Amino acid sequence: MTDLGMMRYFLGMEVHQFDDGIFLSQKKYANDLLKKFKLENCNPVSTPLAVNEKLSKADGDAKADVTQYRSLVGSLLYLTATRPDLMFCSSLLSRFMHSPSLTHFGVGKRVLRYLKGYVFSLGSGVFSWNSKKQDVVAQSSAEAEYVAAAAASNQAIWVRKVLTDLSHVQMEPTVLWCDNKSAISIAKNPIQHGRTKHINVKFHAIREAEKNGDVQLMYCRSEEQLADILTKALPSAKFNELRSKLGVLKKSFKEEC
């Protein structure tokens, strides 16, 4: 074997190692992506999506080049490895992979304009995130939140098992923050048959997880919900606030800390 020294670049990811931690970024990959779509000299925007932007499969616009569109969306999805702020827009655009229009392609180019001029990295603020369209039809916002909480509890239990294997046993339950009091009530109260009897049994596993002390559902105000950046388009100020709380920072800022 050959000792190549400390890792600095691997599969499009740049690794900057400091005494107080490791900093990951994809600056070169992002710049190459801008050059590929001839947007290296474009005017930047402050958010990846416009607020209240609505996309549909049948928008009446002309069809875009499928190969180019899929290449763009695939590249954006790879960027989410260190850029959770791109998760929602990437998953939204991926819904139109089979038949994209010029409107969809234009929205994808706006995401690239958001990349222009910034060098962001992911510190140790977050290490696992997910944003996807639910595969069940919810009959209320509370039910939708309950299903999402169930998925989060499964991930929490898996992470706890990994930490146990690493000899870091978690004595306290993992706190899951939820901004819907009705969803929390459903998880804590198994008697509400009228409101919950139609929900798939597998989602009720969160009740068992809370009973066993693996997770604990806690309420947080919608204004403090970090996951909003993964589920909707936000105004610039709110987007920047949540992005910084996730730990997505400029490399220069990290070096100054």
The model's confidence at residue 257, banded by pLDDT at 50, 70 and 90, is very low
Question: Within 13 Å of residue 63, how many CA atoms lie on the same side as its CB?
Answer: 8
CA-CA distance, 255 to 85, in Å (whole number)?
Answer: 21
Residue 63 has pLDDT above 70, yes or no: yes
Q: What is the pLDDT of residue 70?
A: 92
Q: pLDDT for 216-233, tens place per residue?
A: 877 877 777 777 777 677
Q: pLDDT for 125-176, tens place per residue?
A: 555 555 555 555 556 677 777 777 788 788 888 888 888 888 888 888 888 8
Nearest 5°: phi and psi at 25?
-150, 170
Smallest CA-to-CA distance from 91 within 120, 64, 111 is with 111
* Tokens 């989060």 -> residue: 152
Give the mean pLDDT of the chain.
77
CA dist 42 → 89, 111, 199, 246 (Å): 19, 12, 48, 27
What phi-psi label fits residue 238: left (phi over 0), alpha (psi between -120 and 50 degrees) or beta? alpha
CA-CA distance, 113 to 132, in Å (whole number)?
Answer: 23
**Is the CB of residue 196 less than 8 Å from the CB of residue 237?**
no
Residue 61 has pLDDT above 60, yes or no: yes
* Tokens 């995401």 -> residue: 111
Enumerate the domain spans of the chain: 9-125+233-256, 141-228
